[in-house]
Structure 1
Amino acid sequence: MIRIKAGVPRRPRPRTRARRPLRRALALGLPTVWGAMAITYKLTCPLAQQNSLGARIVTSAVFFAVGTGLIVQVRRSLLRELRQIRRIAGAAQNALLRPLPPRLDGLNIAAAQLSAERGAVVGGDLYEVIATEHGVRVVMGDVRGHGIAAIGTVAAVLGSFREAAHDEPDLAGVLRRLDRALARHLRERARAEHPASGGLDPDSPVAEEFVTVLLLEIGRDGEVRGLNCGHPWPYRLSGTGVEPLARADPLPPLGPFPLPAALPFVCCGQLLPGEALFMYTDGAEDARDRRGRFFPLRDVLAEVAAQQPLPVPQSVLGLVFTELLRHAGGTPADDVALLVLSNDRKPAHPYSGARGGDISGSAARAHPATTHPQPTNHR
C-alpha cells in the first residue's frame, strides 16, 4: 500500500501515468498490424491479383479474418473501458449514497434504492442514518425529477445532513441547515446554467426545484420525534399490524417556500423492541401495473407483518421489493427508495410493552401524534 505524507506524491504515480500512452499504443498495435497485413497481401501477393473464383475466395477469407480481428479487438477495448467507467461510477455513487451499516445503536437497518434511469445506482431519492449524541437521526428525501439529473441536489442535501446531524441539538436546526444548503446549491446551479442572470431568477426552471424531506430522531428510550416537509409518513410494523407513524399534516417541501419561524416537531410515540419503521419515497406507492393500478403498499406491509410478528428489516425489504417489481412488471417509472429500521434493544423493564407508563401500550397508540414547539434543546 502506498502512503502519501504531506501531500507529496511518490514516484509510482508518474510512472503509472507514463504507462498509459504505452498501453494505448499496444491496444492499437494489433489492429494496425492486421490492417497492414491485409493491404500488403492485396498489393503484393500474386494470388490477390487473379480474378479466378479460388483467388477471390482466398482474398475474401483474408479480409474477413482481418475485419473480424479488428472488431474483436475494438470490442475488447470498449468493454475494458466500460468496466473501468462502471467501477468509477459505482465508487462515486457509493460515496454519495453510502451503504448503511446493518446495525446501529441497537437498531437493525436495511435500505435499498432503485433508480428509474438505466445503468444508474443513485437517483433522486436520498436517505441516511447517523448515530449522534442526540439519538439516532434519520433523513429520507425525494428530489424533484429522477435519475442522474437529480444527483447534484442529493449530494447537497446529504452533505449538509451529515454535518448538521452531529452539530445541531434539535431537529429544527438540522432542517434549517438543509434548507440553506439547498438554497446555495440552487443559486450556484442557476449561475452555472445562466451566467448572465447573476443569481436565481424566479422565472428560471431551477427556481422550481424542491425536495421533500423527512427527519426522524429516535432516542435511547425509543421515543420518536419527527419533522416532515412534504414527505410520506413512515409505517410502524408490529405484531398488531401496520399503522402510520403519524397523521399530522406535513410542512411544504424545501425549496419553493421559506420555512416558518416556528418549526413544531411531531411526537410519534415510542418504537418498542420488536417493532419496525418502514420509510419510503412516493415512487413506491405511485408504481403502476399494466392496468394503471397503484401499488398497494400498505396491504403488502400488512401481509408481511402477518408473516413476521417480529419484522426483520432485510426480509421485509426483500419481500416488498419483490412484490413491487412484480406489480410494475420491471423497473418502475420513478425512483424508489426503501428504508427499514427495527428496534432490537433490550427493554428497560420487564414490561416490554409499556409505552409511557401503560403496560399494554394501547393508550399511547389510541391518541394520534401530537405537535409541539421545537425547543432550543429538548434534551
Structure 2
Amino acid sequence: MFRIKARVPRKVLAMGLPTAWGAMAITYKLVCPLAQQDSIGARVVTSAVFFAVGTGLIVHVRQALLRELRQVREVAGAAQSALIRPLPPRIDGLNVAAAQLSADRSACVGGDLYEVIATEHGVRAVMGDVRGHGIAALSTVAAVLGSFREAVHDEPDLGRVLRRLDRALARHLRERARAEHPASGLEPDTPVAEEFVTVLLLEIGRDGEITALNCGHPWPYLLSGTRVEPLARADPLPPLGPFPLPAELTPSPCGSLLPGDSLVLYTDGVEDARDARGRFFPLQAALIGAVRNGPITPQAILRTLFTAILRHTRGRQGDDIAVLVLRNDRTRLACDPLGARGCEIGGSAAGARPTTTNPQPTNHI
C-alpha cells in the first residue's frame, strides 16, 4: 500500500511539470505585452522563452525515459539472478567459479545458462546456450534450468536427465507458440521451429570419473598442470529443439578430474568473439597462458579470461559469454608416493595423510 501511495505523487509530478511549463509558455504568449510586439527584440525574447520551455520538456522526458530504462534493467537483472543463482565457492570438494557477460547492453541479461548441483549420483553440471539473447531468452532459460534442477536429483541416469530437459523445452515452446498465436486455436506441430538450445551435461563421480552428454555445445577444456586440451573430441548430438533425441542415450566417458585438475566450460560466444580485424578469440592459447605459471584458482582463470576477451573485442562482443570453472580440490590419499592417476581419492581416512591441500577462495571475479 505504501508503494502504491508513493507512486501516485511521483506520477502526478511527472505529468505536472510539463503541463506547468506549457501553461507558462501559453500564458506568456497571450498575456505578456512584450509577446504582442513585432519588434526584433520582442521576437528574440519570445523565442528564448519558448526555447527554454522546449529544452526543459526534452530534458524532463529524457530523464523519465532513463529512469524507466534503469527500472527495466533492474527488474531484468533481478529475474536473471533468480534464475541463474550465484554458485557456492565449493560443491562436494570442487572449487567452483562462474561468470557471464551479456551482449545486450540495454538489458544486461543473456541467453546463457549454467548450474552445478551435488547429488547422490555425483556432482552434475549443465552449461547451455539459448538461441538469441536478452529478455526474450529468459523464459527458455527458466524452462531448461527448472527441469535440470529437479531431474538431477530424480534421475540416476544422465540420459534420462537430458530427456527431461528435452521434454521441458518442447512443452515451453508449445506454450509460447499458443501464446503468440492464440487466435488459431490449433496445437502447433513444430512450435517456434527456429528455436534451439545447446546443452552440455557433465557428471563427476566421487572418484573423479567424468561422463558427459553433449547436444551441440563446445566441449570444455581440461587443465591438468600446464596441459590444456579438450575434454573430448567426439561429435556432439544436435541441439535440443529442432530434432528428436536418439532412442539410445549413452553418456560418454571422458576420463578423470583428478585433484588439482580443472574443467573450463564455456559458451560459443567466447571463441566467436572477434577483434576489430575479424580474428576469433584464441581461447586455448589464453588458457595456456593462464596456467603457465603454475596452479591457479578458478577465480583467477575467470579474471584472466574475461580481461583477455574484453581487451580482444574492446568491449563490443556480439554474443553472450558465460564461463564456468570446476577445480577438483578433493584430497588424494597417500597410497602412492608418485601420486599416480589411479590413486584413491577421498576426504579423510584413518592413518592416511593427505598430500594436497587447497585453501577455499571466494567465488567472484
Which of 95, 98, 122 is matched with 2:109 structurally? 122
2:297 to 301, 312, 319: 312
The answer to whether residue 227 in structure 2 is matched with residue 264 in structure 1 is no
Aligned pair count reads 343
Which region of structure 1 is more displaced relative to structure 2, 93-102 or 176-185? Answer: 93-102
Q: Out of 4, 9, 19, which is 1:32 matched to?
A: 19
Trace 1:1-379 onto structure 2 (pairs within 5 A).
13=1, 15-195=2-182, 196=184, 198-202=186-190, 206-307=192-293, 309-349=294-334, 351=336, 353-357=339-343
SS at structure 2 position matched to 1:71? helix
Contact 1:129 1:138 in 2 (8 A): yes
Runs of 4+ aligned structure 1 residues displaced above 4 Å come to none
Q: 125-134 or 190-199: which moved more?
A: 190-199
Amino acid at match of 1:343: N
Give the letter aligned to residue 287 of structure 1. Answer: A
Residues 76/146 of structure 1: CA separation in 2 closer, same or farther (3 Å cut)? closer
Give the superposition deviation at 1:358.
Answer: 9.1
Offset, 1:224: 2.0
Tell me by how many angstroms 1:263 deviates. Answer: 1.9
SS at match of 1:212: strand
| Separation in 2, partners of 1:245, 1:109 | 18
C-alpha contact 1:238 1:311 (8 A) present in aligned 2: no
1:157–1:182 contact (8 Å) kept in structure 2? yes
Contact 1:141 1:212 in 2 (8 A): yes
Residue pair 1:97, 1:122 contacting (<8 A) in 2 also:
no
CA contact (8 A) 2:103 2:320 kept: yes
> Which of 63-72 and 220-229 deviates more?
63-72
Distance between the aligned counterparts of 1:342 and 1:297, measured in 2? 18
Report Cα offsets for 1:319-357 as digits up to 9, x if no partner: 122222333343222322211111222323365833224
Q: Is the CA contact 1:113–1:337 (under 8 Å) kept in the aligned structure 2?
A: yes
Give the Å deviation of 1:18.
4.1
Change (3 A) 1:358 1:179: same
Alpha-carbon shift at residue 122 of structure 1 (Å): 2.8
User: Is contact 1:237-1:311 (8 Å) kept?
Assistant: no
For 2:179 and 2:35, locate their aligned partners in 1 and report how far apart those are by CA, in whole Å: 60
SS in 1 for 2:315: coil
Matching residue's letter, 1:233: W
> Structure 1 pair 332/316, CA: closer, same or farther in 2 (3 Å)?
same
Asked whether the equivalents of residues 126 and 199 of structure 2 are also in contact (C-alpha less than 8 Å), the reply is yes
- In terms of mean alpha carbon deviation, does 240-249 or 154-163 score higher? 240-249
What is the letter of the counterpart of residue 312 of structure 2? Answer: H
Task: Give the drift of 1:237.
Answer: 1.0
Mean alpha-carbon deviation: is it higher for 128-137 or for 145-154? 145-154
Note the C-alpha offset of 1:62. 2.9
Q: CA deviation at 1:46?
A: 2.1
Q: Could you tell me how far apart the structure 2 residues matched to 1:327 and 1:217 are?
A: 33
Structure 2 vs 1, CA of residues 282 and 81 (structure 1 numbering), >3 Å: closer, same or farther? closer
Gaps of 5+ in 1: 1-12, 360-379
1:98 Cα deviation after fit: 2.5
For 1:197 and 1:348, the matched residues in 2 are separated by 63
User: Closer, same or farther in 2 for the Cα pair 1:35/1:277, shift >3 Å?
Assistant: same
1:365 aligns with: none
Q: Distance in 1 between matches of 2:145 and 2:335?
A: 39
- The CA deviation at 1:292 is 3.5
TM-score (norm 1): 0.81
Q: Distance in 2 between matches of 1:315 and 1:31?
A: 52
The structural deviation recorded for 1:208 is 4.0
Shift, 1:243, TM fit: 1.6
Q: Secondary structure at the match of 1:349?
A: coil
Given the superposition, is the C-alpha separation of residues 46 and 260 from structure 1 closer, same or farther in structure 2, using an over 3 Å criterion? closer
Give the conservation status (yes or no) of the 8 Å contact 1:236–1:244: yes
| CA contact 1:212–1:253 (8 Å) conserved in 2 | yes
Deviation at 1:121, TM superposition (A): 2.8
Equivalent residue, structure 2, for 1:374: none
Closer, same or farther in 2 for the Cα pair 1:73/1:144, shift >3 Å? closer
Which stretch of the first structure deviates more once superposed, 128-137 or 140-149? 140-149
Check conservation: 1:113, 1:122, Cα contact below 8 A: no
Q: Determine if contact 1:186/1:200 at 8 Å carries over to the other structure.
A: no
Residues 94-121 of structure 1: CA distance to partner in whole angstroms, max 9, x if unpaired? 2222222233232222222233333233
Structure 2 counterpart of 1:168, which letter?
A: E
**Residue 100 and residue 66 in structure 1: after superposition, are their counterparts in 2 closer, same or farther (change >3 A)?**
same
Aligned to 2:350: none
Deviation at 1:19, TM superposition (A): 4.3
